[in-house]
A and B are shown apart, each in its own frame.
Chain A
């Protein structure tokens, strides 16, 4: 954790952060990137994630190819004469649901909701946690005690319970789900960032920067922030699957994404009554959800290893 992000060569993240790019020397992110590229698990998980993104983006195209829309009901071919879902076939690859809709195309469209909610709420949470944690840790004093108490407060709320109460009052919707998840995740990020900022601001190079006449804003953005990039990246990749599960849980309880918009959570909620007659109705949305969260967790794990190789070295010596 002592490595400082001064010299970084050809990493996109470093460039966009506005850091100088010297000729030689590989910084922390460049080293991590090269380690990540050699990690087979990371490659596999990364491929799955990219594939999911591609599927989500291409959902309307896929709908055109199959000729089925996500909320189109096939009363003739999609239901048995007893009105029950039909199993996987050439027409319905993943079978149909209780309303005779194509489970395959609904799973495809569900990827859009999961990724949208997962990624957007994580970005919001990380941005808020970063700003508030940095302000608390670096500025200290009254700012810190107020913000730290506020984070403690958010963290001692019974989260899911409160989210449920909130959603039931305001009425479920996708933007609300994103806000709720972000609101209940930022404090954990904020606390970690605050802790890091507290220790970084005591370093000598910060003192040097101040002696050179740098202001608070400059020190926070140019001297402290780059040191937070690595832990925040790790946290972000691990927060996305948590947010995805949170959305699925809200939708499962009928408080997230409302039907007929397909989400893996509300599909699984519908399937609860049909799992005894239509296994495909549970299996495919369930698998999609599991595969997605697993891919993000695997990827996050590899990123963590790549950024903190010390733990793996430690493990390897015994």
Chain B
């Protein structure tokens, strides 16, 4: 089942994170059907788990060419000079920021705790969760797909600043 609160938060978060931190504009969205119909190409993936209400995990897949360019944009260097290690670091950071942004938008009555993002095989699938929300966007040189699975649906509350 798709959690509509998570779905909207995911859409807003992906676009905001890409624009503000990676200076990337998305070119359009893929439907769930389009993503399901495409076998994984040359992709890399990162995953992190979160504890809170609800608990769950985020998995992010990105085509390798797009990953390299995004890492270059983030670090302010030429794509040809980006190492595989730097690409991995940046993609883990992208997953971390996206997850934190989504969860901050759907704040529940408890604080969230995120695990450290890990690079995982792109073919890894989340199974066994009832709530699975996916959002995929087209980039100038590839595709970014983000999946969030949760143990239960969300309930959103407004946040207040302590500063």
Q: Do A and B come from one complex?
A: no
A residues touching B (Cβ–Cβ < 8 Å)? none
Measuring CB to CB, which residues of chain B are less than 8 angstroms from any residue of chain A?
none
